[in-house]
Amino acid sequence: MAIKRQKLKSTPSPQFWWLSVGVILLLTFVAFIPSLQNGFVNYDDTVYVYQNPHIQSLSGKNLHRILTKPMAHNYHPFTMLSLAVNYHFSELNPFGYHFTNLMLHLANVFWVFWLVFWLTGKRIEMSVIVSLLFGIHPMHVESVAWIAERKDVLYAFFFLPALIAYIRYIKTRKWAFFAVSLLLFILSLFSKPAAIVLPVLLFLLDFWFRRTLKLKTIVEKIPFFALALLFSYLTLKAQSAEGAVVSLNVYTPFTRFMAACYGFSMYIIKMIVPHQLTVHYPYPLLNNGFPTFYYIFPLLSAAIGVFTLYSLRFTRTIFFGMAFYLINLILVLQLVTVGGTIMSERYTYIPYIGLFFIIGWAYLKLAAKWKNYRMIFTTFLAVYMLLMGIFTWNRCQVWKDSMTLWTDSIQKMPNVIAYNNRGELYFEAKEYDLALKDVDAAIVLNSSYMQSYKNRGLLYSVTNQFDEAIQNYSIYLNNTKSRKNRHPVLNWRGIAQLNLNRFEKALKDFDEAIEIDSQNGSYYFNRSRTHYALDNRKAALKDAIKAQTLGMKVDRQYIEGLQ
Protein backbone atom coordinates (compact mmCIF):
# COMPACT_ATOMS: atom_id res chain seq x y z
CA MET A 1 0.00 0.00 0.00
CA ALA A 2 2.88 2.36 0.80
CA ILE A 3 4.22 1.92 -2.71
CA LYS A 4 0.82 2.70 -4.23
CA ARG A 5 0.47 5.89 -2.17
CA GLN A 6 3.90 6.97 -3.29
CA LYS A 7 2.85 6.53 -6.93
CA LEU A 8 -0.26 8.62 -6.39
CA LYS A 9 1.86 11.48 -5.07
CA SER A 10 4.39 11.32 -7.90
CA THR A 11 4.72 14.10 -10.45
CA PRO A 12 2.32 13.66 -13.39
CA SER A 13 3.95 12.33 -16.52
CA PRO A 14 4.74 14.53 -19.55
CA GLN A 15 1.93 12.75 -21.39
CA PHE A 16 -0.48 14.04 -18.75
CA TRP A 17 0.90 17.57 -19.13
CA TRP A 18 0.27 17.54 -22.86
CA LEU A 19 -3.17 16.00 -22.44
CA SER A 20 -4.06 18.80 -20.02
CA VAL A 21 -2.85 21.43 -22.50
CA GLY A 22 -4.90 19.81 -25.27
CA VAL A 23 -8.10 19.82 -23.23
CA ILE A 24 -7.60 23.46 -22.23
CA LEU A 25 -7.01 24.51 -25.83
CA LEU A 26 -10.11 22.61 -26.96
CA LEU A 27 -12.31 24.26 -24.31
CA THR A 28 -10.95 27.68 -25.23
CA PHE A 29 -11.57 27.07 -28.92
CA VAL A 30 -15.16 26.01 -28.23
CA ALA A 31 -15.81 29.11 -26.13
CA PHE A 32 -14.62 31.36 -28.97
CA ILE A 33 -16.23 29.53 -31.92
CA PRO A 34 -18.88 32.26 -32.46
CA SER A 35 -16.13 34.80 -33.17
CA LEU A 36 -15.27 32.95 -36.40
CA GLN A 37 -18.66 33.92 -37.84
CA ASN A 38 -18.23 37.63 -37.06
CA GLY A 39 -17.55 40.43 -39.52
CA PHE A 40 -15.73 43.74 -39.34
CA VAL A 41 -16.93 46.56 -37.08
CA ASN A 42 -16.77 50.30 -37.68
CA TYR A 43 -14.46 50.79 -34.73
CA ASP A 44 -10.79 50.88 -35.82
CA ASP A 45 -11.31 47.95 -38.22
CA THR A 46 -11.64 50.73 -40.79
CA VAL A 47 -8.20 52.28 -40.28
CA TYR A 48 -6.53 48.94 -39.60
CA VAL A 49 -8.04 46.88 -42.43
CA TYR A 50 -10.83 47.68 -44.81
CA GLN A 51 -9.97 51.34 -45.43
CA ASN A 52 -6.22 50.89 -45.14
CA PRO A 53 -4.53 50.92 -48.58
CA HIS A 54 -1.13 50.13 -47.05
CA ILE A 55 -2.03 46.53 -46.18
CA GLN A 56 -3.69 45.74 -49.50
CA SER A 57 -0.45 44.80 -51.22
CA LEU A 58 2.82 43.24 -50.11
CA SER A 59 4.73 45.50 -52.49
CA GLY A 60 8.08 46.88 -51.48
CA LYS A 61 6.62 50.36 -51.06
CA ASN A 62 3.88 49.17 -48.71
CA LEU A 63 6.25 46.94 -46.74
CA HIS A 64 8.59 49.89 -46.27
CA ARG A 65 5.67 52.02 -45.10
CA ILE A 66 4.47 49.33 -42.68
CA LEU A 67 7.90 48.71 -41.19
CA THR A 68 9.06 52.32 -40.84
CA LYS A 69 6.02 54.50 -40.19
CA PRO A 70 3.37 54.68 -37.43
CA MET A 71 -0.17 53.58 -38.29
CA ALA A 72 -3.39 54.08 -36.37
CA HIS A 73 -1.76 56.17 -33.62
CA ASN A 74 0.99 53.62 -32.91
CA TYR A 75 4.21 52.16 -34.20
CA HIS A 76 3.43 48.42 -34.32
CA PRO A 77 4.82 47.15 -37.64
CA PHE A 78 4.44 43.42 -36.93
CA THR A 79 0.75 43.87 -36.22
CA MET A 80 0.22 45.74 -39.48
CA LEU A 81 2.36 43.21 -41.35
CA SER A 82 0.25 40.33 -40.00
CA LEU A 83 -2.91 42.10 -41.20
CA ALA A 84 -1.29 42.62 -44.61
CA VAL A 85 -0.58 38.89 -44.82
CA ASN A 86 -4.22 38.21 -43.91
CA TYR A 87 -5.33 40.55 -46.68
CA HIS A 88 -2.99 38.85 -49.15
CA PHE A 89 -4.71 35.49 -48.59
CA SER A 90 -8.33 36.46 -47.82
CA GLU A 91 -8.68 40.13 -48.82
CA LEU A 92 -11.81 41.42 -47.03
CA ASN A 93 -13.20 38.06 -45.94
CA PRO A 94 -13.30 38.55 -42.14
CA PHE A 95 -13.02 34.82 -41.36
CA GLY A 96 -9.27 34.76 -42.03
CA TYR A 97 -8.64 37.64 -39.64
CA HIS A 98 -10.80 36.16 -36.88
CA PHE A 99 -9.26 32.73 -37.33
CA THR A 100 -5.76 34.20 -37.01
CA ASN A 101 -6.73 36.08 -33.84
CA LEU A 102 -8.16 32.92 -32.32
CA MET A 103 -5.09 30.84 -33.22
CA LEU A 104 -2.85 33.44 -31.60
CA HIS A 105 -5.05 33.39 -28.50
CA LEU A 106 -4.78 29.60 -28.32
CA ALA A 107 -1.01 29.90 -28.63
CA ASN A 108 -1.05 32.38 -25.74
CA VAL A 109 -3.08 29.95 -23.62
CA PHE A 110 -0.35 27.42 -24.36
CA TRP A 111 2.33 29.90 -23.24
CA VAL A 112 0.43 30.78 -20.04
CA PHE A 113 0.26 27.09 -19.14
CA TRP A 114 4.04 26.71 -19.40
CA LEU A 115 4.75 30.08 -17.78
CA VAL A 116 2.85 29.01 -14.66
CA PHE A 117 4.34 25.53 -14.92
CA TRP A 118 7.87 26.95 -14.60
CA LEU A 119 6.88 29.62 -12.06
CA THR A 120 5.44 27.05 -9.66
CA GLY A 121 7.99 24.28 -9.97
CA LYS A 122 5.87 22.17 -12.35
CA ARG A 123 2.62 22.33 -10.37
CA ILE A 124 0.20 21.05 -12.98
CA GLU A 125 -2.99 22.09 -11.14
CA MET A 126 -1.90 25.72 -11.02
CA SER A 127 -1.02 25.64 -14.71
CA VAL A 128 -4.43 24.21 -15.60
CA ILE A 129 -6.42 26.71 -13.53
CA VAL A 130 -4.54 29.82 -14.65
CA SER A 131 -4.33 28.94 -18.34
CA LEU A 132 -7.97 27.87 -18.57
CA LEU A 133 -9.19 31.04 -16.86
CA PHE A 134 -6.97 33.05 -19.20
CA GLY A 135 -8.38 31.19 -22.18
CA ILE A 136 -12.11 31.44 -21.50
CA HIS A 137 -12.61 34.62 -19.47
CA PRO A 138 -15.18 36.95 -21.12
CA MET A 139 -13.10 40.05 -20.40
CA HIS A 140 -10.68 38.70 -23.04
CA VAL A 141 -13.28 38.57 -25.81
CA GLU A 142 -12.50 42.13 -26.91
CA SER A 143 -8.84 41.25 -27.51
CA VAL A 144 -9.72 38.14 -29.53
CA ALA A 145 -13.02 38.88 -31.30
CA TRP A 146 -12.07 42.39 -32.40
CA ILE A 147 -9.92 42.29 -35.53
CA ALA A 148 -8.26 45.63 -34.77
CA GLU A 149 -7.00 44.22 -31.47
CA ARG A 150 -4.68 41.85 -33.30
CA LYS A 151 -1.95 43.76 -31.51
CA ASP A 152 -3.03 42.31 -28.13
CA VAL A 153 -2.85 38.67 -29.06
CA LEU A 154 0.26 39.18 -31.21
CA TYR A 155 2.37 41.03 -28.65
CA ALA A 156 1.40 38.47 -26.02
CA PHE A 157 2.52 35.71 -28.39
CA PHE A 158 6.11 37.01 -28.01
CA PHE A 159 5.81 38.59 -24.55
CA LEU A 160 4.87 35.42 -22.65
CA PRO A 161 7.66 33.18 -24.02
CA ALA A 162 10.08 36.04 -23.33
CA LEU A 163 9.19 35.64 -19.65
CA ILE A 164 9.53 31.86 -19.90
CA ALA A 165 12.96 32.19 -21.49
CA TYR A 166 14.07 34.53 -18.70
CA ILE A 167 12.90 32.02 -16.08
CA ARG A 168 14.94 29.34 -17.84
CA TYR A 169 17.91 31.73 -17.75
CA ILE A 170 17.46 32.16 -13.99
CA LYS A 171 17.28 28.39 -13.52
CA THR A 172 20.18 27.40 -15.79
CA ARG A 173 22.32 30.58 -16.01
CA LYS A 174 22.64 29.88 -19.73
CA TRP A 175 23.03 33.08 -21.72
CA ALA A 176 21.28 31.51 -24.70
CA PHE A 177 18.00 31.77 -22.78
CA PHE A 178 18.78 35.40 -21.93
CA ALA A 179 19.38 36.16 -25.61
CA VAL A 180 16.13 34.44 -26.62
CA SER A 181 14.25 36.48 -24.01
CA LEU A 182 15.73 39.71 -25.38
CA LEU A 183 14.91 38.76 -28.98
CA LEU A 184 11.32 37.87 -28.09
CA PHE A 185 11.01 41.18 -26.24
CA ILE A 186 11.99 43.03 -29.42
CA LEU A 187 9.41 41.11 -31.44
CA SER A 188 6.79 41.90 -28.81
CA LEU A 189 7.64 45.61 -28.94
CA PHE A 190 7.21 45.55 -32.71
CA SER A 191 3.69 44.16 -32.12
CA LYS A 192 2.43 46.52 -29.42
CA PRO A 193 4.19 49.18 -27.32
CA ALA A 194 2.52 47.82 -24.15
CA ALA A 195 5.41 45.35 -24.03
CA ILE A 196 7.68 48.08 -22.61
CA VAL A 197 6.80 46.94 -19.06
CA LEU A 198 8.63 43.62 -19.50
CA PRO A 199 11.96 44.82 -17.94
CA VAL A 200 10.12 45.64 -14.70
CA LEU A 201 8.56 42.17 -14.74
CA LEU A 202 12.06 40.68 -14.94
CA PHE A 203 12.81 42.23 -11.54
CA LEU A 204 9.53 40.76 -10.28
CA LEU A 205 10.67 37.33 -11.48
CA ASP A 206 13.96 37.87 -9.63
CA PHE A 207 11.92 38.58 -6.50
CA TRP A 208 9.81 35.44 -7.03
CA PHE A 209 12.86 33.21 -7.42
CA ARG A 210 14.67 34.98 -4.54
CA ARG A 211 17.54 36.32 -6.63
CA THR A 212 19.66 38.81 -4.73
CA LEU A 213 19.42 42.35 -6.01
CA LYS A 214 22.98 43.30 -6.91
CA LEU A 215 24.90 45.08 -9.64
CA LYS A 216 24.88 42.10 -12.00
CA THR A 217 21.09 41.64 -11.85
CA ILE A 218 20.65 45.36 -12.56
CA VAL A 219 23.18 45.58 -15.38
CA GLU A 220 21.75 42.58 -17.22
CA LYS A 221 18.44 44.45 -17.55
CA ILE A 222 20.01 47.48 -19.27
CA PRO A 223 19.39 46.23 -22.86
CA PHE A 224 15.73 45.63 -21.99
CA PHE A 225 15.29 49.09 -20.48
CA ALA A 226 17.10 50.75 -23.40
CA LEU A 227 14.68 49.15 -25.85
CA ALA A 228 11.72 50.06 -23.63
CA LEU A 229 12.79 53.71 -23.58
CA LEU A 230 13.25 53.75 -27.35
CA PHE A 231 9.78 52.36 -28.02
CA SER A 232 8.26 54.64 -25.38
CA TYR A 233 9.63 57.60 -27.31
CA LEU A 234 8.37 56.24 -30.65
CA THR A 235 4.92 55.60 -29.18
CA LEU A 236 4.54 59.02 -27.56
CA LYS A 237 5.70 60.66 -30.78
CA ALA A 238 3.18 58.70 -32.87
CA GLN A 239 0.27 59.21 -30.49
CA SER A 240 0.95 62.89 -29.93
CA ALA A 241 1.07 63.48 -33.68
CA GLU A 242 -2.36 61.86 -34.05
CA GLY A 243 -3.89 63.49 -30.97
CA ALA A 244 -4.39 60.18 -29.17
CA VAL A 245 -2.72 61.40 -25.97
CA VAL A 246 -4.96 63.83 -24.13
CA SER A 247 -3.15 66.91 -22.87
CA LEU A 248 -2.29 66.83 -19.18
CA ASN A 249 -4.21 70.11 -18.88
CA VAL A 250 -7.51 68.47 -19.88
CA TYR A 251 -7.82 66.40 -16.70
CA THR A 252 -6.56 67.48 -13.30
CA PRO A 253 -4.18 65.26 -11.29
CA PHE A 254 -7.10 64.51 -8.95
CA THR A 255 -9.28 63.38 -11.87
CA ARG A 256 -6.52 61.12 -13.12
CA PHE A 257 -5.99 59.69 -9.63
CA MET A 258 -9.70 58.94 -9.27
CA ALA A 259 -9.84 57.35 -12.72
CA ALA A 260 -6.81 55.19 -11.93
CA CYS A 261 -8.33 53.97 -8.66
CA TYR A 262 -11.60 53.23 -10.43
CA GLY A 263 -9.88 51.22 -13.16
CA PHE A 264 -7.58 49.34 -10.78
CA SER A 265 -10.49 48.22 -8.61
CA MET A 266 -13.14 47.76 -11.28
CA TYR A 267 -10.96 45.47 -13.39
CA ILE A 268 -10.67 43.19 -10.35
CA ILE A 269 -14.43 43.31 -9.80
CA LYS A 270 -15.08 42.56 -13.48
CA MET A 271 -12.68 39.63 -13.27
CA ILE A 272 -14.71 38.10 -10.44
CA VAL A 273 -18.15 39.10 -11.77
CA PRO A 274 -17.97 39.99 -15.49
CA HIS A 275 -21.34 41.75 -15.53
CA GLN A 276 -22.52 44.50 -17.94
CA LEU A 277 -19.54 44.17 -20.26
CA THR A 278 -19.48 46.76 -23.02
CA VAL A 279 -17.18 48.00 -25.74
CA HIS A 280 -17.03 51.56 -24.37
CA TYR A 281 -16.78 52.75 -20.75
CA PRO A 282 -17.11 56.55 -20.89
CA TYR A 283 -15.79 58.97 -18.32
CA PRO A 284 -18.54 60.18 -15.98
CA LEU A 285 -19.80 63.72 -16.49
CA LEU A 286 -17.53 65.86 -14.33
CA ASN A 287 -19.45 69.15 -14.34
CA ASN A 288 -19.95 68.88 -10.57
CA GLY A 289 -17.01 66.57 -9.85
CA PHE A 290 -17.03 62.81 -9.63
CA PRO A 291 -20.29 61.15 -8.57
CA THR A 292 -20.23 60.08 -4.91
CA PHE A 293 -20.04 56.43 -5.95
CA TYR A 294 -16.53 56.93 -7.32
CA TYR A 295 -15.06 57.90 -3.95
CA ILE A 296 -15.35 54.25 -2.89
CA PHE A 297 -12.57 53.23 -5.26
CA PRO A 298 -9.58 55.06 -3.70
CA LEU A 299 -10.52 53.42 -0.40
CA LEU A 300 -10.92 50.02 -2.07
CA SER A 301 -7.60 50.41 -3.89
CA ALA A 302 -5.86 51.37 -0.66
CA ALA A 303 -7.39 48.36 1.14
CA ILE A 304 -6.19 46.02 -1.61
CA GLY A 305 -2.72 47.55 -1.44
CA VAL A 306 -2.49 47.23 2.35
CA PHE A 307 -3.69 43.61 2.26
CA THR A 308 -1.21 42.79 -0.51
CA LEU A 309 1.71 44.15 1.52
CA TYR A 310 0.47 42.43 4.70
CA SER A 311 0.28 39.11 2.83
CA LEU A 312 4.08 39.09 2.56
CA ARG A 313 4.09 37.98 6.19
CA PHE A 314 2.77 34.55 5.19
CA THR A 315 3.23 34.17 1.40
CA ARG A 316 4.89 35.81 -1.59
CA THR A 317 2.19 34.62 -4.00
CA ILE A 318 -0.41 37.35 -3.45
CA PHE A 319 2.19 40.10 -3.74
CA PHE A 320 3.62 38.49 -6.90
CA GLY A 321 0.19 38.13 -8.51
CA MET A 322 -0.92 41.67 -7.65
CA ALA A 323 2.41 43.15 -8.76
CA PHE A 324 2.17 41.27 -12.06
CA TYR A 325 -1.35 42.66 -12.46
CA LEU A 326 -0.40 46.25 -11.64
CA ILE A 327 2.83 46.39 -13.64
CA ASN A 328 1.03 45.26 -16.79
CA LEU A 329 -1.88 47.61 -16.14
CA ILE A 330 -0.11 50.77 -14.98
CA LEU A 331 0.26 52.33 -18.44
CA VAL A 332 -3.50 52.21 -19.13
CA LEU A 333 -4.83 53.34 -15.75
CA GLN A 334 -5.42 56.83 -17.23
CA LEU A 335 -2.65 58.49 -15.22
CA VAL A 336 -1.61 59.70 -18.66
CA THR A 337 -4.99 59.71 -20.37
CA VAL A 338 -5.16 57.99 -23.76
CA GLY A 339 -8.45 58.02 -25.63
CA GLY A 340 -11.88 58.71 -24.19
CA THR A 341 -12.60 55.67 -22.00
CA ILE A 342 -12.09 55.32 -18.27
CA MET A 343 -11.43 51.58 -18.76
CA SER A 344 -11.34 49.05 -21.59
CA GLU A 345 -11.70 45.28 -21.40
CA ARG A 346 -8.80 44.67 -23.79
CA TYR A 347 -6.39 46.16 -21.23
CA THR A 348 -6.81 43.08 -19.02
CA TYR A 349 -5.41 40.58 -21.51
CA ILE A 350 -1.98 40.13 -19.87
CA PRO A 351 -2.62 41.68 -16.42
CA TYR A 352 -5.28 39.13 -15.47
CA ILE A 353 -2.65 36.38 -15.45
CA GLY A 354 -1.51 37.77 -12.10
CA LEU A 355 -5.03 37.62 -10.64
CA PHE A 356 -5.68 34.14 -12.03
CA PHE A 357 -2.38 33.09 -10.41
CA ILE A 358 -3.75 34.17 -7.04
CA ILE A 359 -7.03 32.30 -7.67
CA GLY A 360 -5.15 29.10 -8.50
CA TRP A 361 -3.00 29.42 -5.39
CA ALA A 362 -6.03 30.17 -3.17
CA TYR A 363 -7.89 27.10 -4.48
CA LEU A 364 -4.95 24.79 -3.78
CA LYS A 365 -4.43 26.34 -0.34
CA LEU A 366 -8.07 25.87 0.65
CA ALA A 367 -8.23 22.37 -0.80
CA ALA A 368 -5.11 21.36 1.14
CA LYS A 369 -6.23 22.93 4.42
CA TRP A 370 -9.81 21.65 4.36
CA LYS A 371 -9.44 18.34 2.58
CA ASN A 372 -12.94 17.24 3.49
CA TYR A 373 -14.33 20.16 1.49
CA ARG A 374 -12.04 19.75 -1.49
CA MET A 375 -14.89 18.45 -3.66
CA ILE A 376 -16.98 21.53 -2.80
CA PHE A 377 -14.12 23.87 -3.72
CA THR A 378 -13.50 21.96 -6.95
CA THR A 379 -17.18 21.99 -7.88
CA PHE A 380 -17.43 25.72 -7.22
CA LEU A 381 -14.36 26.42 -9.39
CA ALA A 382 -15.64 24.13 -12.17
CA VAL A 383 -19.05 25.84 -12.18
CA TYR A 384 -17.37 29.26 -12.21
CA MET A 385 -15.26 28.24 -15.22
CA LEU A 386 -18.31 26.84 -16.99
CA LEU A 387 -20.09 30.15 -16.50
CA MET A 388 -17.07 32.04 -17.81
CA GLY A 389 -17.08 29.88 -20.92
CA ILE A 390 -20.80 30.48 -21.49
CA PHE A 391 -20.39 34.24 -20.97
CA THR A 392 -17.53 34.23 -23.48
CA TRP A 393 -19.61 32.34 -26.05
CA ASN A 394 -22.40 34.90 -25.68
CA ARG A 395 -20.04 37.88 -25.63
CA CYS A 396 -18.42 36.77 -28.90
CA GLN A 397 -21.82 37.08 -30.57
CA VAL A 398 -22.11 40.71 -29.49
CA TRP A 399 -19.11 41.42 -31.75
CA LYS A 400 -20.92 39.88 -34.73
CA ASP A 401 -21.27 43.22 -36.53
CA SER A 402 -21.30 46.94 -35.87
CA MET A 403 -25.04 47.25 -35.32
CA THR A 404 -25.09 44.47 -32.73
CA LEU A 405 -22.02 45.89 -30.98
CA TRP A 406 -23.25 49.48 -30.66
CA THR A 407 -26.82 48.57 -29.79
CA ASP A 408 -25.49 46.39 -26.96
CA SER A 409 -23.32 49.27 -25.77
CA ILE A 410 -26.23 51.75 -25.81
CA GLN A 411 -28.45 49.36 -23.87
CA LYS A 412 -25.84 48.79 -21.16
CA MET A 413 -24.06 52.14 -20.92
CA PRO A 414 -25.31 54.90 -23.26
CA ASN A 415 -22.33 56.83 -24.60
CA VAL A 416 -21.40 59.24 -27.34
CA ILE A 417 -19.22 56.80 -29.30
CA ALA A 418 -21.95 54.17 -29.48
CA TYR A 419 -24.65 56.61 -30.60
CA ASN A 420 -22.36 58.29 -33.11
CA ASN A 421 -21.12 55.04 -34.65
CA ARG A 422 -24.59 53.54 -34.84
CA GLY A 423 -25.74 56.75 -36.45
CA GLU A 424 -23.09 56.23 -39.14
CA LEU A 425 -24.53 52.78 -39.81
CA TYR A 426 -28.03 54.18 -40.24
CA PHE A 427 -26.61 56.86 -42.53
CA GLU A 428 -24.98 54.22 -44.75
CA ALA A 429 -28.32 52.38 -44.85
CA LYS A 430 -30.04 55.68 -45.84
CA GLU A 431 -32.22 55.54 -42.74
CA TYR A 432 -31.70 59.24 -42.17
CA ASP A 433 -34.31 59.77 -39.45
CA LEU A 434 -32.79 57.04 -37.27
CA ALA A 435 -29.31 58.34 -38.01
CA LEU A 436 -30.23 61.89 -36.99
CA LYS A 437 -31.86 60.60 -33.80
CA ASP A 438 -28.65 58.80 -32.80
CA VAL A 439 -26.35 61.69 -33.70
CA ASP A 440 -28.55 64.11 -31.76
CA ALA A 441 -28.37 61.75 -28.76
CA ALA A 442 -24.57 61.71 -29.04
CA ILE A 443 -24.41 65.51 -28.99
CA VAL A 444 -26.74 65.70 -25.98
CA LEU A 445 -24.45 63.29 -24.10
CA ASN A 446 -21.26 65.12 -25.05
CA SER A 447 -21.46 68.41 -26.89
CA SER A 448 -17.68 68.55 -27.27
CA TYR A 449 -17.44 65.41 -29.43
CA MET A 450 -16.84 66.98 -32.82
CA GLN A 451 -17.31 63.86 -34.95
CA SER A 452 -21.04 64.03 -34.26
CA TYR A 453 -21.30 67.56 -35.67
CA LYS A 454 -19.56 66.44 -38.84
CA ASN A 455 -21.95 63.52 -39.17
CA ARG A 456 -24.98 65.70 -38.48
CA GLY A 457 -23.77 68.10 -41.14
CA LEU A 458 -23.68 65.25 -43.65
CA LEU A 459 -27.19 64.20 -42.66
CA TYR A 460 -28.52 67.70 -43.20
CA SER A 461 -26.69 67.89 -46.54
CA VAL A 462 -28.25 64.72 -47.95
CA THR A 463 -31.70 65.93 -46.85
CA ASN A 464 -31.08 69.33 -48.51
CA GLN A 465 -31.09 71.28 -45.24
CA PHE A 466 -28.00 73.24 -46.23
CA ASP A 467 -28.17 76.04 -43.67
CA GLU A 468 -28.24 73.49 -40.84
CA ALA A 469 -25.47 71.51 -42.56
CA ILE A 470 -23.24 74.62 -42.76
CA GLN A 471 -23.86 75.38 -39.11
CA ASN A 472 -22.73 71.89 -38.02
CA TYR A 473 -19.74 71.85 -40.37
CA SER A 474 -18.68 75.22 -38.98
CA ILE A 475 -18.84 73.99 -35.38
CA TYR A 476 -16.63 71.08 -36.35
CA LEU A 477 -14.11 73.23 -38.25
CA ASN A 478 -13.92 75.87 -35.52
CA ASN A 479 -12.92 73.19 -33.01
CA THR A 480 -10.70 70.96 -35.16
CA LYS A 481 -7.15 72.00 -35.95
CA SER A 482 -5.91 68.76 -37.52
CA ARG A 483 -5.28 69.52 -41.18
CA LYS A 484 -5.96 65.98 -42.37
CA ASN A 485 -9.38 66.00 -40.67
CA ARG A 486 -10.35 69.47 -41.91
CA HIS A 487 -10.17 69.23 -45.69
CA PRO A 488 -13.09 66.79 -46.30
CA VAL A 489 -15.37 68.92 -44.13
CA LEU A 490 -14.24 72.11 -45.89
CA ASN A 491 -15.21 70.44 -49.16
CA TRP A 492 -18.63 69.42 -47.81
CA ARG A 493 -19.29 72.89 -46.44
CA GLY A 494 -18.23 74.36 -49.76
CA ILE A 495 -20.78 72.16 -51.55
CA ALA A 496 -23.50 73.32 -49.14
CA GLN A 497 -22.52 76.96 -49.75
CA LEU A 498 -22.59 76.31 -53.49
CA ASN A 499 -26.11 74.90 -53.25
CA LEU A 500 -27.20 78.12 -51.51
CA ASN A 501 -25.50 80.25 -54.21
CA ARG A 502 -22.99 81.60 -51.69
CA PHE A 503 -20.23 81.36 -54.27
CA GLU A 504 -17.54 83.47 -52.59
CA LYS A 505 -17.82 81.47 -49.36
CA ALA A 506 -17.81 78.21 -51.32
CA LEU A 507 -14.68 79.31 -53.20
CA LYS A 508 -12.91 80.08 -49.93
CA ASP A 509 -13.71 76.60 -48.57
CA PHE A 510 -12.53 74.84 -51.73
CA ASP A 511 -9.33 76.92 -51.79
CA GLU A 512 -8.47 75.85 -48.23
CA ALA A 513 -9.34 72.19 -48.91
CA ILE A 514 -7.04 72.18 -51.95
CA GLU A 515 -4.29 73.93 -50.00
CA ILE A 516 -4.37 71.03 -47.51
CA ASP A 517 -4.85 68.20 -50.03
CA SER A 518 -3.79 69.17 -53.54
CA GLN A 519 -4.25 65.64 -54.96
CA ASN A 520 -8.01 65.30 -54.60
CA GLY A 521 -9.69 65.68 -57.97
CA SER A 522 -13.18 66.25 -56.56
CA TYR A 523 -12.00 69.40 -54.77
CA TYR A 524 -10.78 70.88 -58.06
CA PHE A 525 -14.00 69.94 -59.83
CA ASN A 526 -16.13 71.56 -57.12
CA ARG A 527 -14.00 74.70 -57.34
CA SER A 528 -14.39 74.59 -61.12
CA ARG A 529 -18.16 74.63 -60.70
CA THR A 530 -17.84 77.59 -58.35
CA HIS A 531 -15.64 79.52 -60.78
CA TYR A 532 -18.19 78.79 -63.51
CA ALA A 533 -20.99 80.16 -61.31
CA LEU A 534 -18.87 83.31 -60.81
CA ASP A 535 -18.44 83.55 -64.62
CA ASN A 536 -14.70 82.88 -64.44
CA ARG A 537 -14.50 80.31 -67.24
CA LYS A 538 -10.74 80.36 -67.57
CA ALA A 539 -10.26 79.35 -63.92
CA ALA A 540 -13.14 76.87 -64.20
CA LEU A 541 -11.49 75.19 -67.22
CA LYS A 542 -8.11 75.01 -65.50
CA ASP A 543 -9.61 73.30 -62.44
CA ALA A 544 -11.71 70.92 -64.56
CA ILE A 545 -8.62 69.78 -66.46
CA LYS A 546 -6.70 69.40 -63.18
CA ALA A 547 -9.50 67.26 -61.75
CA GLN A 548 -9.37 65.11 -64.86
CA THR A 549 -5.60 64.62 -64.60
CA LEU A 550 -6.05 63.50 -61.00
CA GLY A 551 -8.32 60.67 -62.16
CA MET A 552 -11.77 62.17 -61.77
CA LYS A 553 -14.23 61.55 -64.59
CA VAL A 554 -15.31 64.96 -65.89
CA ASP A 555 -18.05 65.18 -68.52
CA ARG A 556 -16.54 66.08 -71.87
CA GLN A 557 -19.39 68.43 -72.70
CA TYR A 558 -18.71 70.35 -69.49
CA ILE A 559 -15.10 70.94 -70.54
CA GLU A 560 -16.07 71.81 -74.10
CA GLY A 561 -18.56 74.34 -72.78
CA LEU A 562 -15.76 76.10 -70.93
CA GLN A 563 -13.41 76.32 -73.92
Residue 438 near residue 426 (C-beta atoms within 8 A): yes
pLDDT one-digit tens code per residue, 538-553: 999 999 899 999 988 8
The arithmetic mean of pLDDT across residues 251-266, rounded, is 89
Residue 281 three-state SS = strand
The arithmetic mean of pLDDT across residues 30-54, rounded, is 94
Average pLDDT, the chain: 91
pLDDT at 8: 36
pLDDT over threshold 60, residue 243 = no
Q: Which residues contact 86 (CB under 8 A, 6 or more apart)?
A: 49, 96, 97, 100
Top pLDDT among 237 and 164 is at: 164
- Exposed/middle/buried for residue 374 (C-beta within 10 Å: 0-12, 13-18, 19+): middle
Opening angle at CA 412, ends 408 and 417, nearest 5: 70
pLDDT over threshold 70, residue 4 = no
Residue 250: pLDDT band (50, 70, 90) is low
Percent of the chain with pLDDT over 70: 95
Counting other chains too, the contacts that 386-391 makes at CB distance below 8 Å and 24 or more residues apart are 388/133, 388/136, 388/137, 388/138, 388/274, 389/27, 389/30, 389/31, 389/136, 391/138, 391/274
pLDDT at 10: 46
CA–CA separation, 74 and 232 (whole Å): 11
pLDDT at 308: 97
Opening angle at CA 311, ends 310 and 314, nearest 5: 120
The CATH number of the structural domain formed by 481-562 is 1.25.40.10
pLDDT over threshold 80, residue 2 = no
Best-predicted range by mean pLDDT (243-247, 333-337, 485-489): 485-489
Counting other chains too, the contacts that 214-217 makes at CB distance below 8 Å and 24 or more residues apart are none
pLDDT at 247: 47
The arithmetic mean of pLDDT across residues 481-502, rounded, is 93
pLDDT at 285: 74
Ramachandran angles phi, psi of 501, nearest 5°: 65, 25
Comparing CA positions, the residue from 163, 172, 160 lying closest to residue 204 is 163
Amino acid at 247: S
The arithmetic mean of pLDDT across residues 460-473, rounded, is 96
The arithmetic mean of pLDDT across residues 158-175, rounded, is 96
pLDDT at 256: 86
Domain edges within the chain? 481-562
Range from 95-99, 160-164, 243-247 carrying the lowest mean pLDDT: 243-247
pLDDT at 59: 86
CA atoms within 13 Å, Cβ hemisphere of 367: 16
Range from 104-108, 153-157, 214-218 carrying the lowest mean pLDDT: 214-218
Residue 11: pLDDT band (50, 70, 90) is low
* Rg of the chain, C-alpha, whole Å: 28
pLDDT one-digit tens code per residue, 182-213: 999 999 999 999 999 999 999 999 999 999 99
pLDDT at 251: 72
CA–CA separation, 413 and 63 (whole Å): 40
Range from 68-72, 285-289, 365-369, 414-418 carrying the lowest mean pLDDT: 285-289
pLDDT at 337: 59
pLDDT one-digit tens code per residue, 429-439: 999 999 999 99
pLDDT over threshold 50, residue 1 = no
